[in-house]
Amino acid sequence: MTDTYQTLICPACGKAMEKVFLEDQGFIVDVCLDGCGGIWFDNRELKEVDEKDDNILELTEAYKGKTFSKVDKSDTRECPLCHKKMVKNCVSAKQEISIDECYTCGGKFLDYNELEQMRAQYDTEAERIEDIKEIAKDSVKMELILESILRKDKF
Ligand SMILES: [Zn+2]
Ligand SMILES: [Zn+2]
């Protein structure tokens, strides 16, 4: 846990984020409750909450009855902690969910609803691992194809 008690500024809409303590996980997440509804996760926190069975009641409660401003998801965003530019990463093969990731501190920013979309994807950790294996298999295949093309060029 790298949680400091400083208030983070939302990388998507610039509003001050609020701290929500997740009791089951035992850590605090920063949520943009007065702006876009986005969530900031410190390094490795995301995997504690991205399955359907993970209890995130406190987050659901914090979101209840609120409406959030729309933000442009294609904007390049800056890490609220290190102020470096974040990189957009696809987090699944099944669905097009892309999150912002800071390669310096490992933090991740999810737009409103992206966490729910992620949680809705896999019923179990095993399913997710299978999915990741599929993606890896494809990239190995690609490498082999590229290798054979390169070899042909040489001879
Ligand atoms: Zn925001
Ligand atoms: Zn960072």
Same domain, 155 and 106: no
Looking at the fold, whether 44 and 109 belong to one and the same domain comes out as: yes
Q: In this structure, are residues 110 and 38 in contact, taking their beta carbons and an 8 Å threshold? A: yes
Ligand with the closest atom to the CA of 84: 2
What are the average pLDDT values for consecutive 10-residue runs of the chain, which has 155 residues? 75 97 95 98 92 92 96 94 94 79 96 91 72 73 70 57
**Does one domain contain both 144 and 104?**
no
| Same-domain pairing of 141 and 109 | no
Q: Which ligand is nearest to the CA of 31?
A: 1
Shared domain check, 149 and 103? no
| pTM for the structure as a whole | 0.77
Asked if 101 and 48 sit in the same domain, the reply is yes
Question: 141 C-alpha to center of ligand 2: Å?
Answer: 33
When divided into structural domains, the chain yields a total of 2
Q: Which ligand is nearest to the CA of 112?
A: 1
User: β-strands 108-110, 39-41: how paired?
Assistant: antiparallel
Range of the domain at 11: 1-121
Distance 60 CA to ligand 1 centre (A): 17
d(CA 63, CA 59): 6
Do 13 and 87 fall within a single domain?
yes
